[in-house]
Structure formats: C-alpha cells, structure tokens
Amino acid sequence: MMEGILGSETPLLLSALDGEPQVSIRYNPFKVTARPEGEGVPWNRYGYYLSERPIFTFDPLFHAGQYYVQEAASMFVGHLFEGATEGAEGLRLLDLCAAPGGKTTLYSAQVGLEGLVVANEPVRNRAKVLAENVRKWGLGNVAVAMNDPHAIAEALPEWFDVVAVDAPCSGEGMFRKDDRARAEWSPEAVRMCAQRQRSILSDAWEALRPGGVLIYSTCTFNRAEDEEQVEWLTEEFDTEVVEIDIDPDWGITLSEAAGHTCYHFYPHRSRGEGLFAVVLRKAERRSKQRPTRARRTALIAAPKREVSELQRWVEGGEAMRFATAGDRYFGYYAHQMEEMSYVSDRLNVIYSGVCMGQMFGGKLRPDHALALFHDLSASVPRTELSRAEAMAYMRRESPAEIAAKMNEGIGALCYEGATIGWAKRIGARINNMLPTDLRVLTKESEEEIWQE
C-alpha cells in the first residue's frame, strides 16, 4: 500500500517506524507566563521538543496542568485552526472525537476565554479521562459531553463555527509509538474505519454553520481514510477551499483531493508521528439553524446568598456566574453562561466550566478542579512546597513538614508557584484533600526518579 503512495521512499518510512518516537510537550499559556527553554515545535508556538522522555508522573507541574504531553505532529491542527479562522474571537468549537484531550486542550487555549469548546467522547471510560484532562488544563471554557455524534447533530444543528474531527482510524501513523496499532492493523480494519468516518463526518457537517470550517485529521497514511474522504465530502456537500500558509522547512508533504490541499506528516520527513489533516469551509447559504427543545434544565442558578462566597475564590468573581448541578457548584464566565446552559440542556454533559465544590453551612469546600483553575483568586492562602513534599502530597500522604508551613484551615499547596491541590490544617496535622483516584501510586527516591 505504501509503495503505491511513496514509491521508492517506502523503505525510509519503514525504517523510521522502527525508530524511537520524538517526545514533545505543549505548555499552557494561561498558566505559564515565561516561555520555556528548549527547541520549539515550528508549527505551534506553545510546543517544545524534549531531548529525552522524563517520567511525567513524577513531575508536580504535569499534575498542575502547566503542560500537556502531546505528539508534535498532532499540534499541527492548531496551525490549521489559526489560518482558517484568522484570529476571530468568541468562536464555538466542537471537538467531536475528543478523548483523551490533547487536541481539546489545544483548541481551548486557541479559542481563548471568549470562546467555547464542546469536547465529545461517546465511550464512558474515555470520557472520564477527557474530563480529567480538561479539569487539569483549567481554563473553564470547555463542556465535556458524552453523546453519539448523530445526537449532537440533531440537538445542535449548524451551531458551531468550527468542528474538529480527529477520527478513529487504523492508526498506521502510530506504528512507531504503539505496538497495539501494528497488531490490530488489517485491510479490513481500514475499510471499517473509512465507513465509520463517513458517518461521523456527515454528523459533523450537520453541526457546522454555513461559513464555518471543518478540520479533519487522522493518524494514518492510506488514501481510503484520507484523500478519499475529502473527495467524498466534496461530492456530498458544498465545500470551499481554505488556503493555509506553511513553511517548506517543516517537512510536511502536500497532496490534493478534489481541489483541497491535504497535509501529511511522514516520520522520515518531519519531526513527529504520522498524521493526515485537511481543512474545508462549509459554503455560505441561508442557515437552517433552529432552536431545539431542551431535554432538561441541567444548570440551576446558585442562590444569591451563596454567590458572594463563591466569588471570593476566583479572580474577577463579579464577572462570573455560578450554578448547581447535583450537589456541586460550577463557575462560568458570564459571557459563556447562556451557551453553556444551552448545550447542557440538550446534551449529556458530564463536566463544564470549573467545578467550585460543595457548600456546607454557607462555606465552600473547594473541589480539586478549583485548585487547578487558572483564575484562582490571589487571596486564597498558598503554601509553597519542595519537590519531595509535593510528591508526598501527590501520593496522598500528609507529612508534618507541610502542616508546619500551613495556616489553620483550607489552603492551596503549590510547587514552583503552580497550584497542585488543597489541604486542610487542623492543629498540628493536615487532611490531604487530593482525590483518591489522582493519587500517584509509585514511590521513588529523588535519585531514582531522575536516573530513570
């Protein structure tokens, strides 16, 4: 198959797929104020290559949402987003196949706090991972949904300015990174993926407003899941070409499908794993967008008597709105509140905005998500920890050394200025408030951590 695409270059690709994957991260621009040192990923201003792979589990800054570990080629969709939207603000973006959250966190930073991302994952255990990564990223502009794509198209027709489909695929581009991708590949798997992708793309197109853009990507090489899908889209729907500038030095291979430029990352040509991507615009016409019936009222406005208590935990609290969902309180930027409610009433939303916590006697018991929120109030008491203390906290231990540093009551614990969670000092001891499912299970000495 690859000889039909790359010809005599095929041995170079196969050799690259037997090599070591390049490690890269993307830092959170809403939490990291100074650019890190290192070699940048050329197509994403927040991406950096690492010379070797550290054990991210033992880095408190990873747990604080200061950066996301993301393969470099995957960051290219951010370049497509920027080129296609030309700096437009307040955009609604649907990430239709979002787990585990790499592209969701990328898009949430790029739409900014004025925009809104709906990140969807229909599989429950994958949706939970997605929601956890959204909490850790901590921007408060994401709603995590768990719906079939067709249900979203029916509930929110022509509602989104951008729809991103990082489609389930045969995974050829991940052969270097994931042995399971090699083991599970077959020509039949390619055909099944291509069929499924067309169903997802149809729903994505229905959810996209006229004039909006579709970003379609896969981590595979074959034409059936790549160029042939673009040709099918162009035959079925009114598409328009979007021109994107790229640097020839990036090593991206261009192809053409029905007049649209397609972008391929081959590991022997570019510094990343395999990726295919394309961006198409939905032709302008009269929109058939219509309000749809709400399934329920998911978010209930917080009682006025509790709003002042909630406001004091976040910067600019007067510009935020608060609501209850079940027994927890959630915070939203005021300009997003109406849209968040609209989405939550129509989809199965499992997380949105920032979870503030629970109220007891008029006082907030803060949720872990609030500790990781980028707009946590500067007035919240903070205690700076050493690295050893921070990792003891992440193992859900309660060292006396931390208690000795804290004031009485609930306070935020920090490492290198980044908040990693809550603890409550009671007398000479602390209650570690880290959620049990986030506990780091392995205990290593400092020397072992860095040697490995």
- DSSP code for 64: T
Please compute, for residue 336, the number of CA atoms within 13 A of its CA located in the half-sphere on the CB side.
31
Distance CA 401, CA 159 (A): 52
Decide: 419 and 382 in contact? Cβ < 8 Å.
Answer: yes
**Before 100, cis peptide (omega within 30)?**
yes
Candidate list 193, 219, 262, 355, residue with the active-site label: 219
Decide: 96 and 120 in contact? Cβ < 8 Å.
Answer: yes
Please compute, for residue 153, the number of CA atoms within 13 A of its CA located in the half-sphere on the CB side.
13
- DSSP code for 7: G
Strand partners, 149: none
Please compute, for residue 151, the number of CA atoms within 13 A of its CA located in the half-sphere on the CB side.
15
Q: Is the dihedral of CA 88, 89, 91, 93 positive or negative?
A: positive
Decide: 290 and 237 in contact? Cβ < 8 Å.
Answer: no
**Before 157, cis peptide (omega within 30)?**
no
355 flagged as catalytic? no
Q: Are strands 418-426 and 363-366 parallel, antiparallel or unpaired?
A: unpaired
Q: Are strands 328-333 and 354-360 parallel, antiparallel or unpaired?
A: antiparallel
Nearest to 396 by CA among 126, 100, 63, 130: 63
Which residues are marked as active site? 219
